[in-house]
Structure 1
């Protein structure tokens, strides 16, 4: 917790430090009104079999609210065996009654409620006829025609079984939604938002009137180019026809589903949350049609943070890893159109059941924040009756954030961290300079790798469609070098206008340049819009070359000639550069760059209005690498600089010096795994003198003091329960003091089955001759959360990497200090025993319960996971 360490040093340097008390009202955090429920994390809430009742709903919502959860997203899902008589069919009168009760209780508790427009996923159910159902094309008698995919709703709840709808048909959607018009719409209690999951309509690539729509939209009959459409050898004509085919699918998905669904929701009084990813369309446009665009963080990102663990059984080749470039499709749409919230399905399959720690969750959340997400949804919490024995009801593909989770007692710490971050991220606006054109027609000209021969732009496998493209490679470089950027689609490109500061989006966001990656195909309408903007003074940089051809088959030669003509005109404009090195060009154009990002730091830069003529520049910076620890950095924003630590709720001014190039530099200490906000306000900076700079350097090299006395270890609470007094507990091999900290699972065979809390106690003396204002307690390797007390008084809880706490020097004695560290481990070790003794806990319908490889869950073969305080434990003095 370097910011606390830093605070003491700043006091020594004569600078001020402000600690914001967590007891203050939320308005004290920002000077704004109290934070809304959206500032707190929300959660997916699976209603298993809809076997719910009012009393248990109230009980669970009160638990969630007390833990700091801001809202729930109800997903009716498959049920639990043995509870069939409690199942409530979806949208029946009884179901509507318990749903209305949920919304009322949410309002009472200042919690929001969202609802999937259906059960399981995708949309579908008992009222979906074959005319309404998802379709694919087949070739009959030399002509393209439609046939059913026969896909059923996946993981449906009782009353939700049936065919999946045709997402390309407005008529099918409208007919499907009538079921909600006659039921849900009549309730006085409404959800905040309705929700659509990621596009998982397998093999669907057609609709009944596709040929008519194709002819109207593309200008020719697809059957007339049947040979090119069926060609798989990537001939030039085949590429053009497939561009047209995908363009038509994309437009039908937008016009037949995304926009009509949003219009229906708005008339009913709901907002929409849409996971556009996976769709065969332009993700930017599909996200833009929703009130709350939602991305997804599936799996673990393999950050090189020292001590961060990943599940070795997670199959990266099969499921992929989260990628910030995929996340930016959702945030870019929001930034361009001024949508205040960008959400995320967070932590899906982060690790196997019973094996996820809070220290694994936080870096994934930080990656989302740096990518523009500001509305986290945990994935998630199954509805589980309080009377149900441990581990309760579980959903097959989630991290359990609910009351039966091993980290539930400490979850409020993560929730508080997220609330502090999201409070700031939600009241600020993006401050990005570069708008990158997304050339989807180049992608559509490549062989499709998804079912049905279509390009489904998923978040799981960006290596299949995003990273190989020049667009993806360029955006990776932009992020690595420290440029702040968003994406723009062809449709949204036409909504841009020139301004005296650059190019303005419909939301009022202003960008300094439009950057066009190396592109082969472009709609001539898009190039014409770029030319129009360039003529009005907007700076446009083409990477390496101008676009070569018009997209699509119809009148291709004539339209390509127009592309070349527009290209020649663009080359004559002073505001246009065709650059062999776009980064050198952007440097010459004075495009802001945060060069310190190259040291492994991720960030988002935003603006926050302070009611005056100038805004505050706000950075959220997270260290998800192992390269950065501390350095002098040059921020693109200048002024008075304040650092805020959302983990400790402390803020302090940052030391500033004049660099060799005359620019202001700030000194940032940020260990791997840490994050912070930096706010730059207008005003004259206060510079640190040479002696102060030397103290900063010497402070960073102060040697740590190892705590070498033996440790006493005693279990306090655990599963299996230890019913007898501590002195009568069974021998776990812990009676003898530990001279070296090791996992408690190595002390005896029985200790390998325990999940709970053990208290580690040791004593230490301070070394002679050391004068310090504070000490940093570094616990080393902690499995998994450590509550720390010193001389009988609480110090704090270490729950994320690095496991460090700050201790004021006046809390320490010269000799005889007693340090108590209560460490709580995962529930995985106990599950090794429980799964053998009680295999009947796995009693769920549909997929039942599976492991992270989608194989039947079996914990009996697991090895015991390391548990407890593993150290080494050290104290580092902050020397005056």
Structure 2
């Protein structure tokens, strides 16, 4: 017994001594940090990390990438002794500053590089003399850094993965300074659909020789045999990717005490299963979601047909995996190509981040910041893809505003557990029964174009409807369905997450093993709702008739169980079964529901549209209500009343673009509260003239003007269309007759391009950087007459780039467009040229209004 106690004590001590992220690191946003040419040095790394820490970042993700022309003498080959020294310094300095450090396991993407032999390189199948034969794809690593060029590895081969990782065992793994996590980017291995031992693996896993069904494998007409053989083919690819690359890489990382961050999307496999193997599943938000928020700008040059738009269902595949497997963190590559270079505003970023939060993401990674020497003149070293978040960007001085917002949200999202009622089955075999649109004839499930593979499927259509109708759910795969158990509260994952019901979308092909598990769960009381009909057909070719017979027999058994329902209106059936639905979703709000250890239910609610109107709502949870505003870091009062059915109702006002947390604690709901709400009526629209002058900026301008009406400063002088910097506005106003100066008001700035720092009567009022551009005015800050309003507005650097690009042409030093590989391109991937841009509207465009804030009574 003494030995056991000593062992337990020693184990606890060692566990406490394990390295891990410092408190607060993960709650802050992190950033991709591209090392161009790895041309970095210790002094400059320290300087940049100090800048990052001061701005409120929590960590960096290093990606070695192609270099800069003219800086060749500073290039450091990847994993050389000098590179390892610089990396070790980075980790040490990060630890000193409270910054975490992650690292891509390679350079550029996908994995590959020098030393990858033909035997271990990516393969495709080819018909040679009537036999399926492996041939190299010849794909090379994309955007490699010095020392990283070479063939892409075979992601389906365990031996290829092992051979690739050996390079890190003798280099990176020898350092005492370790990254927090290693990273794999989205699957972008193109044309690879085979491996040297694929036929042997196929026969072992599927029970027959693929070569014997060659005609069905080559079929493109959608014949029954062709569909079933292709399902088996995709199932085998999925398993090889799961057991080969993903598991091998993950196991290797854990032996080295690294966490793993993995972008599984793009893979020809079941994304849920691939994401769950990682310590931190990662999705991405690429492009603009085109929210109908008044005033939100979208880059007209972004090609939706080519690049797609972000979609919550794709994001939920990663967060679902995290919830199923009990992962604390789920991350996202954030803000990629949100708009063209030099044209992204903070007001465009916030709604995209809110969409991620509402989809279950809680660990934001900006995409991103290039390493740039401080001696490099503006615009510094740049990565080919926008968005640029670094010290040379126009919004860097105000980035701490966004960082603080993200930290406040993530500190709540990371310390709570999902509180979802539903598991929605992801019928991967139905997808594999459709014709693949990706290269190599395989389904690559990427996040950019879910309209091509997910939304046409029944699960995509049902998933969208469930979100619109306010049901909180996670997706689940066959593998994870087979891990569920039944508890008194519902079905339970191995991580302890409990769900009230399982929903099966309309499904044609259903594995008999999964249906057998559902029957087992249902016999123990698990509630299962089948949309439309019970399944009748098994996927795959081997013993198809026999296995389909088992599916029909199991379906017959399920139909007789009281906890199983077949429904043509899943939503009504779920409500009848007591599954919670948040009615505010049907009014246009997006939300995430979580639960704290003390039983408090935590809602993140965001208005990403223009249909919700302030009014009384009925949360599906009752108790004591508090409202927290992560933008202002203020807990705000909430008007609460007892509804006609006895449920708690609260008054919610949330303008387009706004977000909040609702915290509902256990206990009797406290009615008879009141809350301060913004009245939609303007007390005063400021119509007095404005005094305007140009402040610091490029090029230097010294003009001033009296503006009877607010207009873009680009119209004031000819040269103002090239100005990037700060414009200063000042006006005076009186309160209208009858307005109480000691009441609460809100200042609505209207259209701001792009960030406004406001002073009222000589005292700071705050910074408006996101939609709607409003600031609360504390009581007693206004005077009856003679109020002075001063506003300093900073615009985009795009207008200056119009001039700068004319003055600095050329792609060679001393020009600024001097990068190897793709160099610098615009949002359409054409050579970057800003000389033909129109001037972007800049400054305070208004109208500026004073809005009343009045107490909202709680009585009916």
TM bucket (normalised to shorter chain) is over 0.9
Q: TM-score, normalised by structure 1?
A: 0.93
Q: Secondary structure at the match of 1:712?
A: strand
Aligned length: 829
Cα distance in 2 for residues equivalent to 1:192 and 1:531: 42
Q: Which residue of 1 aligns with 2:449?
A: 461
- Answer yes or no: is 1:834 the counterpart of 2:822: no
Is residue 2:752 matched to residue 1:782? yes
Aligned counterpart for 1:700 among listed residues 679, 702, 709: 679
Match of 2:6 in 1: none
Give the TM-score taking structure 2 as reference length. Answer: 0.95
Q: In the aligned structure 1, how far is the partner of 2:283 from the partner of 2:376?
A: 33
Q: Structure 2 residue aligned with 1:368, among 356, 361, 386?
A: 356
Indicate yes or no: 2:614 matched with 1:630: yes
Q: Is the 8 A contact 1:782 1:868 kept in 2?
A: yes
Cα deviation digits, residues 532-559 of structure 1 (max 9, x gap)? 0000100000000111200100000000
Note the aligned Cα RMSD (angstroms). Answer: 1.2
Q: Is the 8 A contact 2:680 2:851 kept in 1?
A: no
- Give 1:567 deviation, angstroms: 0.4
After TM superposition, give the deviation of residue 405 of structure 1 in Å.
0.3
The equivalent position to 1:306 in structure 2, one of 264, 279, 294, is 294
Candidates 624, 642, 645, aligned match of 1:661? 645
Bigger relative contact order, structure 1 or 2 (CA pairs below 8 A, ≥6 apart): 1
Q: Is the 8 A contact 2:693 2:705 kept in 1?
A: no
Partner in structure 2 of residue 673 of structure 1: 657
Note the alpha carbon deviations across 1:703-732, whole angstroms, 9 max, x for none. Answer: 33101110011111111135xxxxxx3x5x
Aligned to 1:747: 716
Q: Compare 869-878 and 62-71 and name the one that shifted more.
A: 869-878
Paired residue for 1:711?
690
Q: Tell me the SS of whatever aligns to 1:703.
A: strand
**Conservation of the 8 A alpha-carbon contact between 2:368 and 2:387:** yes
Q: CA–CA distance in 1 between the matches of 2:705 and 2:300?
A: 33
Runs of 4+ in structure 1 off by over 4 angstroms are none
1:204 aligns with 2:173: no
**SS of match in other structure, 2:586:** helix
* Residue 105 of structure 1, CA deviation: 0.4
The equivalent residue for 1:738 is: 707
- Tell whether the 8 Å contact from 1:44 to 1:377 is kept in structure 2 after alignment: yes
- 1:101 lines up with 2:89 in the alignment: yes
Would you say 1:873 and 2:848 are equivalent positions? yes
Alpha-carbon distance in structure 2 between the residues aligned to 1:807 and 1:297: 35
Q: How does 1:412-811 map to 2 (within 5 A)?
A: 412-610=400-598, 615-688=599-672, 700-722=679-701, 729=702, 731=703, 735-771=704-740, 772-811=742-781
Give the secondary-structure state (helix, strand or coil) at the position aligned to 1:347.
strand
Give runs of aligned pairs for residues 853-872 of structure 1, distance below 5 A: 853-872=828-847
Contact 2:302 2:827 in 1 (8 A): yes
- Cα deviation, 1:507-564, whole Å, max 9, x if unaligned, reads 1110000000000001110000000000010000000011120010000000000000
For 1:833 and 1:401, the matched residues in 2 are separated by: 22
**CA offset digits 1:35-82 (Å, max 9, x no partner):** 520000000000000000000000000000000000000000000000
Question: Structure 1, residues 730-750: CA drift from partner, whole Å, max 9, x if none?
Answer: x5xxx3311111101112221
C-alpha separation in 1, matches of 2:36 and 2:783: 55
State the 1:656 CA deviation. 0.9
Deviates more, 1:459-468 or 1:765-774: 765-774
Report the CA distance between 1:688 and its aligned residue: 2.8
The offset of 1:657, in angstroms, is 1.1
Structure 2 match to 1:315: 303
- Output the CA distance in 2 between the equivalents of 1:419 and 1:651: 16
Which residue of 1 is the match for residue 792 of structure 2? Answer: 822
Q: After superposition, where does 1:284-303 map in structure 2 within 5 Å? A: 284-303=272-291
Residues in 2 aligned to 1:876 and 1:430: alpha-carbon distance in whole angstroms: 37
SS in 2 for 1:561: helix
Q: Distance in 2 between matches of 1:756 and 1:189?
A: 41
1:246 and 2:234 matched: yes
Q: Distance in 1 between matches of 2:535 and 2:371?
A: 53
**Cα shift at 1:34:** 9.1
Mapped to 2, the partners of 1:328 and 1:138 lie a distance apart of: 36
Task: String of CA shifts for 1:330-359, please: whole Å, max 9, x gaps.
Answer: 100110110000000000100000000000
Structure 2: distance between partners of 1:719 and 1:552: 65
Q: Paired residue for 1:177, among 165, 183, 188? A: 165
For 2:244, the equivalent position in structure 1 comes to: 256
Q: Give yes or no for contact 1:35–1:423 (8 Å, CA) kept in 2.
A: no
Deviation at 1:647, TM superposition (A): 0.4
Distance between the aligned counterparts of 2:351 and 2:664, measured in 1? 24
1: distance between equivalents of 2:23 and 2:626?
21
Deviations 1:593-629 (A, max 9, x none): 101111110000000013xxxx000000000000113
2:267 to 234, 254, 279: 279
CA distance in 1, matches of 2:231, 2:403: 45
CA contact (8 A) 2:638 2:650 kept: yes
Residue 792 of structure 1 deviates from its aligned partner by 1.4
| Cα distance in 2 for residues equivalent to 1:650 and 1:479 | 28
Distance change in 2, residues 1:315/1:47 (3 Å): same
Structure 1 counterpart SS, 2:732: strand
In structure 2, do the counterparts of structure 1 residues 653 and 776 end up closer, same or farther at CA, with 3 Å as the change threshold?
closer
Distance apart, 1:769 and its partner CA: 1.3
User: Is residue 147 of structure 2 the alignment partner of residue 168 of structure 1?
Assistant: no
Contact 2:679 2:852 in 1 (8 A): no
- State the Cα distance separating 1:663 from its structure 2 match: 2.0
